[in-house]
Every structure is written in structure tokens, then in C-alpha cells.
Amino acid sequence: MITGGARRVGACIARALHGAGFNVALHCRRSQRQAREMADELNAARRDSACVLAADLRDAAAVRELARAARTRWRRLDALINNASVFFGTSLAAPDDARIDELIGVNIKAPLLLAGELAEELARREGCIVNLTDCYASQPLQGHAAYCATQAALAMLTRSLALELAPRVRCNAVAPGAILWPEGDGDDEERRRAVLRRTALARTGEPADVAQAVLFLVTSAGYITGETIAVDGGRY
């Protein structure tokens, strides 16, 4: 299952895993049309190999139901990809409790709950978890204290789950850098150029770069757990 699997990097991860022979459950919240279109595309390539699971990751009950649906759709689950996240700034002077709760709920609470709900099934399959974090887990972004805190928490959750779920379940993370600019980011070209000046390869990456790292961790990293792979062009 790939959370946030209908669009952007999540969709690329889903296609990479599907191309490697996996059946894929595409989680979405608002992007149900895109998720259905992708599922149709993948099912046309291989019958009954993709499904759509809609859930609001801010809702703990919905997260638990999502886990149940993912576990039962094909009567097995081998990999959980926690890709879904929300990104926006928060004010320290006038904090918005609902916005902070959303960041915590989607970015860290949902991955934790999904891991707990699916731990037994993943252990049965000797499966794995891959969390998508980012460079702001270790390098804070001004005006985004709450978001950065959730990314740091997700990085530590990765290491904690590697310990908690060993030896039968591996847990790793991928930390993309400048791959796709955040939606609603505007057209601040100078800020984008500044990001690329701090990137050794001096260019943006591609969603496929992230997807290949995820595919490696799922299929070819049997002796790797508790690690984070930076796919950031050398920015870190």
C-alpha cells in the first residue's frame, strides 16, 4: 500500500512497484478521480493488480479501517509505503491548533498507527515499511517549525520501528530533496534558485529517482533497516 499514491511522487512509486510485479493499493483522500484512473491503467496492464482505498489520515478510526482494508484486499500485505504528507507553514505568534493537529495527524500519527495495525501481517510476510521524510527532518525551514518537527519525528519513528519490529520487518526511509516543488508554492524563482545553489548537483531530481530508492529498499535491501537514504542531489 502506498499512502498518497494517486499523484506526484506517490504515483511514481506505485508505478515502479507495480512494474516490479507488486499488486498496489493506492490510498488517497481527495484525489479519488486520479486514483481511479491510475488503478484502471494498472489493471489494464495486469488484471486485478490495483485498487483504490480512500481514507482521511487525520481520522484515527479511518486510518485503522484503511489498514484493515489493505490487509484484506489480496489477503496479504508485503510493504507499507508511508508517502502521504501535508506541508504548510505555521505561525508561532498566532498558532492555529487545527493546522498543527493536521500536520501531526497526517505526517506522524498516521504512519505510527498504520505500522502498529499492520505489524503482524508484515511480520508474517517478512515485509517492510518505507517512510517518505525529507531534508527538513534535520535542517529546519523558517516559518515551518511544526512541519519540520513532524519530519524529525518521522525520521526517529523509522529508527524506532526498525528496532521494535525486528527481526521480521525492516523499516527504512527515503528523504527527497528538490524533486517537485510543493503545491501552492507560488513562483518564487529566487528562492528556488537558492535551494539549487545549496544542492551539489545544482538541479532538481525526478520522481523516478525517489521511486527507484523505494523499490531498492523494498526488493533488494534485505540486510538494511533503520536507515534513511537521501535522494537530494547532495544537498544534505
Write out pLDDT tens, residues 93-117.
888 999 999 999 999 999 999 999 9
| Domain annotation covers residue 92 | yes
Question: C-alpha distances in angstroms, 38 versus 52, 54, 74, 80, 159?
Answer: 9, 14, 18, 19, 32
| Domain annotation covers residue 226 | yes
CATH code, domain with 119 = 3.40.50.720
* pLDDT band, residue 20 (cuts 50/70/90): very high
Active site annotation includes 147: yes
| Domain annotation covers residue 216 | yes
Question: Are 38 and 26 contacting, i.e. CB atoms less than 8 angstroms apart?
Answer: yes
| Domain annotation covers residue 105 | yes
pLDDT digits (tens, 9 = 90+) for 51-64: 999 999 999 999 99
| Domain annotation covers residue 235 | no
| Domain annotation covers residue 175 | yes
Helix (H, G, I), strand (E, B) or coil at 51: strand
* CA-wise closest residue to 14 among 107, 119, 130: 130
Q: What's this model's pTM, rounded to 2 decimal places? A: 0.94
Count of structural domains within the chain: 1
What is the model's pLDDT at position 199? 87
Question: Are 210 and 132 contacting, i.e. CB atoms less than 8 angstroms apart?
Answer: yes
**Residues of the domain holding 112:** 8-230
Catalytically annotated residue among 136, 147, 223, 236: 147
| Domain annotation covers residue 2 | no
